[in-house]
Structure 1
Amino acid sequence: MPILSKETKAAILGAIHLKTESVDVPEWGDGVTILVSEMSGLARDAFYAKKEGGKVPISQSQADLLLATVVDETGALVLDESDVASLQAQGTAVLDRVVAVAVRLNGMQPAAVEDAVKNSAAAPSGDSGSSSASTSASQ
């Protein structure tokens, strides 16, 4: 596996490395499957920016999350703002099942979000001085 360097930077950072997972949605038709994706950093920023300033109904929040995470085989978003009302009208079992996958893929479980905030606040600025290689199996 290549290590990020000046020589490999363009190839590594230029490729999209977002996890996806198929979710069967038989309620929407025989054999219907949707593809749920991890969000990019910018997409996640936009998702959270929509939540600022007040309470959002659960179905609205779920619809917004699906807009940000349901993709086609090429990774392009499938849903848009015009689909929000139709998504909100869907059964809660379907919304909950698909949203659960989006939440898991994006590390948005309450404990994960709290840990990320703590780690972000506690992270030192600049170099850590560590030369340890990453042991992440997901790369």
Structure 2
Amino acid sequence: MAQPLSREAILAADDSNVEDVPVPQWGGTVRVRSLTGRERDRLEASMIGKNGKADATRGLANFRARLVAASVIDENGAPMFTEADVDALAGKSAAALDVIASAAMRLSGLSDSDVEELAGE
């Protein structure tokens, strides 16, 4: 039986995942990282209304663009986009956004059913 992890070991663990994802629509690759718990909670909260249920006016609106903004990093590991870039990203190719969002979801342990549940589907 494996020894239980200590508090220090858990807090010191490098548990982020990074992957270079080819985006043919843009003619190159982007670096995608997994979301932290805080970032995933913030993304999920943006889909939920004040009553704790899916918000029909927000739901999946710009979901992929929000996920891309939260997960794409530059070569130094710094976020490439901010919340202010979401609308501009939403105007990019849906296919390109889907390639990146799919990688970010996989790296962050976010399933399609999680998204559907949050969207109230």
TM above 0.5: yes
Q: Report the Cα offset of residue 21 of structure 1.
A: 0.9
2:83 alignment counterpart? 81
Candidates 36, 41, 57, aligned match of 1:40: 36
Q: Report the Cα offset of residue 83 of structure 1.
A: 1.1
Give 3-state SS (helix, strand or coil) of 1:22's partner.
strand
Q: Report the Cα offset of residue 12 of structure 1.
A: 5.1
Give 3-state SS (helix, strand or coil) of 1:23's partner.
strand
Stretches of structure 2 lacking an aligned partner (at least 5 in a row): 50-54, 116-121
Q: Report the Cα offset of residue 84 of structure 1.
A: 1.2
Stretches of structure 1 lacking an aligned partner (at least 5 in a row): 115-139
> TM-score, normalization: structure 2?
0.73
Question: Which amino acid in the other structure matches residue 21 of structure 1?
Answer: E
1:102 alignment counterpart? 104
The structure, 1 or 2, with the larger RCO (C-alpha pairs under 8 Å, 6+ apart) is 2
Task: Determine the C-alpha separation between the residues in 2 that align with 1:109 and 1:67.
Answer: 18
The answer to whether the 8 A contact 1:37-1:102 is kept is yes
Question: Which amino acid in the other structure matches residue 52 of structure 1?
Answer: I
Number of equivalent positions? 108
Identity, % of aligned pairs?
36
Task: Determine the C-alpha separation between the residues in 2 that align with 1:3 and 1:92.
Answer: 44
Q: Report the Cα offset of residue 58 of structure 1.
A: 4.3
Based on CA coordinates, which of the two structures has the bigger radius of gyration?
A: 1
